[in-house]
Amino acid sequence: MKSWFRSVVPLLLSCLFMLSVPSQALSATVEVFATASGWVLPNGDTNGRDPLTSNYIVGGPDSRGMFYRNFFVFDLTGVADEVQSATLRLMNPVNGFYSRDSASETYTVRSLPTDPSNLLPDNWPLYLPLWQMISTGTTLGNVTVTNASNGTIVDIVFNQAGIDLLNTSLGGYVAFGGLLSSNADLAYPRQLFANSGGGLYRALVMDTAPAPVPLPPSLFLLLGGLVPFALMRKQAIGSKQKMVTSRKW
C-alpha cells in the first residue's frame, strides 16, 4: 500500500468518526416540589382555592357518598433540559391507605385538559369540572398500593406519555390528576393519602439531559483542508517515483 495512503487515510477516517458522533453533555437529576395540590369532588367542591390547605386524598366516600380525586401542579420554569425519565413521589401518611374489600388498590395519574395555572389557589374558576377531566385524561403512570404503603413515599413512574407531557411543558407549569382506578365502579370504602397536607413530601424527580452539542466549525475546516493535502501528498509521491524511474534509464 502506498505510503501517502497509509498516513493520510487513518486521519481522514478519525475525523469522519468525530463528525458522526455528536458530543454529549452530562445528564442531571432535577427535583421539583409541588406548587399546589388538593382534592376535588364530582359536584365541583375542592380545597384548591385555599392556599393553606393542600390535602390530596383520593377515595372515599365522604359523608355524602362522593369519592375524592386529587391534583398536583409543578412549576417547570427552571427546567430547560430534555426529560429522559420521571417519577412522581408522594408521601402517604401513616394510615393514609385503607381498603375495606381489597388488599390492594391501583392509583393512576392522568393528564388534565386545562391550563395548569387554573389550579393555582388564586386562579380557580368559579366552577371547573376537574373531577370529570381526570376521568378522560391520558394515563401517565400508575402504582399498586397496600397497607405496606402507609408511612412511605409512593412512587409513580411516568410512561412515555408522561415524559412527552413534561417536555412540552418545560418553561411553564404542568398539572396532573389522580384517582383510585381499580374497582372504580364499586362504592366500597377505600382511600389513599388520607390526612395528607402541604407539609408532606410531594415532588417530581426527573432525569434530564441537554440536547447534543454541535461540533465546532473548525473541525469541518480541518477535514476540508485534509482532502487537498492528501491530493498534494499523492502528487508529490508520484513525481518522485517518476524521477527515480527516469534516472534508471
Say what the pLDDT of residue 202 is: 97
Q: Is the peptide bond before 61 cis (omega within 30 degrees of 0)?
A: yes
**Does residue 136 share a domain with residue 159?**
yes
Instruction: Provide the whole-model pTM.
Output: 0.77
Q: In which band, very low, low, confident or very high, does the pLDDT at 66 lie, cut at 50, 70 and 90? A: very high
**Does residue 15 share a domain with residue 41?**
no
**Does residue 188 share a domain with residue 87?**
yes
**Does residue 110 share a domain with residue 232?**
no
Say what the pLDDT of residue 187 is: 87
**Does residue 35 share a domain with residue 8?**
no
Residue 6 has pLDDT above 60, yes or no: no
**Taking residues 30-37, what's their average pLDDT?**
96
Q: In which band, very low, low, confident or very high, does the pLDDT at 182 lie, cut at 50, 70 and 90? A: confident
Say what the pLDDT of residue 249 is: 46
Rounded to the nearest 5 percent, the helix, strand and coil shares of the chain are 30, 30, 40
Residue 45 has pLDDT above 50, yes or no: yes
pLDDT above 70: percentage of residues in the chain: 74
Residues 6+ apart with CB under 8 A from 244: none
**Does residue 9 share a domain with residue 110?**
no
Q: Looking up cell 416540589, which residue turns up?
A: 33
| Phi, psi angles (nearest 5°) of residue 40 | -140, 155
Distances (CA, A) of 80 to 28, 146, 171, 181: 11, 36, 7, 33
Q: Looking up cell 407539609, which residue turns up?
A: 199
Residue 176 has pLDDT above 80, yes or no: yes
Say what the pLDDT of residue 134 is: 96
CATH number at residue 35: 2.60.120
Angle between helices 217-248 and 3-20 (to 10 degrees): 170
Residue 26 has pLDDT above 80, yes or no: no
Taking Cα atoms as reference points, which of 55, 81, 3 lies closest to residue 193?
55
**Taking residues 143-169, what's their average pLDDT?**
98
Q: In which band, very low, low, confident or very high, does the pLDDT at 232 lie, cut at 50, 70 and 90? A: low
**Does residue 231 share a domain with residue 199?**
no
Residue 212 has pLDDT above 70, yes or no: no
Residue 223 has pLDDT above 60, yes or no: no
**Does residue 241 share a domain with residue 185?**
no
**Does residue 124 share a domain with residue 17?**
no
Count of the separate structural domains present in the chain: 2
pLDDT above 90: percentage of residues in the chain: 65
| Span of 7-16, 120-129, 137-146 with lowest mean pLDDT | 7-16
**Does residue 176 share a domain with residue 77?**
yes
Domain that holds residue 20: 3-24+213-248
If you average pLDDT over every residue of the chain, what do you get? 84
**Does residue 10 share a domain with residue 64?**
no
